[in-house]
């Protein structure tokens, strides 16, 4: 048995013994659906600097760049759907093996795959609003670069941009879920974005990290280097 299979076995027994498991996901959870992440070698970072474009200041200073970046991401999403790994996470919740899902992803794939208790801490790229007056707007208006129908302001997706605060209630609820947890499984995130990168360490829980690139090994009790989908497929066979 290879080292990875060993570790997946270990994760299966942790899951069987845990009373309250919380999963935290990032962009790596969706790359196998065809949605690029930010920081991998094939990530969006290679073409854009998301830390520069995905900021509220860019809406005022360079709306073309802001709009182009999100238009591309909204359009990519239309060609993609949740993969087996998202479905497995949803089944694990239905079976009571997982209690709560906390995600940084804005693609809504966990909910589409059937997960119910999901905290979307960075919002959703599927709904839109006016940056100035907050009125809701529709996708066609955003994609067509139309101004807000109420105040003429600039439209944007309902995501949390770099430098903006996270939805307060959701963040607090997610933190209390994490404090209840005795097992936390972190999947597909570089753990570079604050404050979500702090969440796994707010609990006394056993911490597991599943990711393609390994950087934070020492902060976790168990690390599994691999793709989210492959690891979850192997894991489900053992549950
Ligand atoms: P990130 O790009 O910083 O890191 C992704 C991590 O996932 C990397 O460490 C990479 O090695 C790993 N990874 C990539 N594919 C993987 C796979 N198939 N299996 C396992 N690991 C894999 O992403 P982040 O940490 O989530 O932070 C980026 C921010 O960008 C978040 O705030 C998020 O809102 C946003 N974002 C979201 C999406 C999405 O919704 N799908 C996509 C890109 C960026
Ligand atoms: Zn407006």
- On whether both 63 and 4 belong to a single domain, the answer is no
* CATH at residue 115: 3.40.50.1220
Nearest in space to 183 (alpha carbons), one of 30, 12, 29: 12
Same domain (yes/no): 147, 199: no
**By three-state DSSP, how is residue 93 classified?**
helix
Residues 54, 100 share a domain: no
For 127-145, how does the pLDDT look when each residue is reduced to its tens digit (9 = 90+)?
999 999 999 999 999 999 9
| Residue 141 domain boundaries | 36-79+128-159
Q: Are residues 101 and 214 in the same domain?
A: yes
pLDDT digits (tens, 9 = 90+) for 13-65: 999 999 999 999 999 999 999 999 988 766 666 667 888 899 999 999 999 99
Do 138 and 23 have their domain in common? no
Same domain, 214 and 235: yes
Active site residue 122: yes
Tens-digit pLDDT profile for residues 136-176: 999 999 999 999 999 999 999 999 999 999 999 999 999 99
Q: 210 and 99, same structural domain?
A: yes
Which atom in ligand 1 lies closest to the alpha carbon of residue 197? 25
Distance between CA atoms of 4 and 10, rounded to whole angstroms?
A: 10
Q: Are residues 175 and 218 in the same domain?
A: yes
Residues 134, 222 share a domain: no
Residue 148 Cα, ligand 1 centroid: separation in angstroms? 31
Task: Starting from the CA of residue 137, give the closest ligand.
Answer: 2
Chosen domain end from 141, 159, 177: 159
User: Which ligand has the shortest distance to the CA of 146?
Assistant: 2
Residue after which a domain boundary falls, among 102, 136, 159: 159
Ligand 1 pocket: which residues have CB below 6 Å? Answer: 26-28, 30-32, 35, 37-40, 43, 104-107, 122, 188-190, 192-193, 211-213, 227-228
Q: What pLDDT score was predicted for residue 117?
A: 98
Q: Which pTM does this prediction carry?
A: 0.96
With beta carbons less than 8 A apart as the criterion, state whether 59 and 154 touch.
yes
In whole angstroms, give the CA distance from residue 175 to residue 20.
14
* Residue 125 neighbours by CB under 8 Å, 6+ apart: 70, 73, 74, 77, 106, 107, 108, 157, 158, 159
Residues 21, 104 within the same domain:
yes
Q: What is the mean pLDDT of the chain?
A: 95
Predicted confidence band at 2 (pLDDT cuts at 50, 70, 90)? confident
Task: Let me know whether 148 and 235 are in one domain.
Answer: no
Catalytic residue among 83, 86, 110, 122: 122
Ligand 1 pocket test: which of 27, 36, 55, 112 has the largest number of ligand atoms within 8 Å of its C-beta?
27
Q: Where are the alpha helices (DSSP H) in the chain?
A: 3-17, 50-53, 56-61, 63-78, 84-94, 109-112, 139-143, 168-180, 228-237
Over pLDDT 90: what percentage of the chain?
90
Nearest atom in ligand 1 to the alpha carbon of residue 44 is 43
DSSP state, 135?
Answer: -
Find the ligand nearest to 128 CA: 2
The rounded Å distance from CA 67 to ligand 1 centre is 21
Question: Measuring CA to CA, how many Å separate 93 from each of 17, 98, 117, 228?
Answer: 15, 5, 8, 17
- The CATH code of the domain that includes 72 is 3.30.1600.10
pLDDT tens digits, residue range 191-210?
Answer: 999 999 999 999 889 999 99
* Of 98, 135, 131, 136, residue with least CA distance to 117: 98
Q: Which of 108, 141, 159 represents a domain boundary (last residue)?
A: 159
Atom in ligand 1 nearest the alpha carbon of residue 50: 30
Looking up tokens 């270990």 gives 10
Number of domains in the chain: 2
- Distance in angstroms (rounded) separating the CA atoms of residues 231 and 41: 21
188: preceding bond cis by omega (within 30 degrees):
no
Same structural domain, 92 and 155: no
């Amino acid at each position: 048995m290879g080292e990875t299979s060993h570790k997946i076995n270990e994760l299966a027994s942790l899951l069987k013994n845990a009373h309250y498991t919380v999963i935290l996901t990032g962009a790596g959870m969706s790359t196998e659906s065809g949605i690029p992440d930010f920081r991998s070698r094939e990530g969006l970072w290679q073409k854009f600097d998301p830390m520069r474009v995905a900021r509220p200041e860019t809406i005022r200073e360079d709306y073309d760049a802001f709009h182009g970046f999100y238009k591309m991401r909204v359009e990519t999403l239309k060609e993609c759907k949740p993969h087996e790994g998202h479905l497995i996470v949803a089944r694990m919740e239905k079976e009571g093996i997982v209690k709560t899902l906390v995600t940084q992803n804005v693609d809504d794939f966990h909910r589409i795959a059937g997960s119910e208790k999901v905290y979307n801490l960075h919002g959703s790229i599927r709904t839109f609003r006016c940056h100035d007056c907050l009125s809701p707007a529709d996708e066609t208006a955003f994609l067509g670069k139309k101004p807000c129908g109420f105040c003429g302001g600039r439209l944007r997706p309902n995501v949390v941009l770099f430098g903006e605060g996270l939805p307060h209630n959701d963040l607090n609820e997610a933190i209390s879920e994490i404090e209840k947890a005795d097992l936390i499984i972190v999947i597909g995130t570089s753990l570079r974005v604050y404050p979500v990168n702090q969440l796994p360490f707010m609990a006394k829980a056993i911490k597991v990290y599943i990711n393609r690139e390994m950087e934070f090994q020492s902060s976790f009790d168990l690390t599994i280097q691999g793709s989210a989908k492959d690891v979850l497929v192997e894991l489900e066979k053992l549950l």
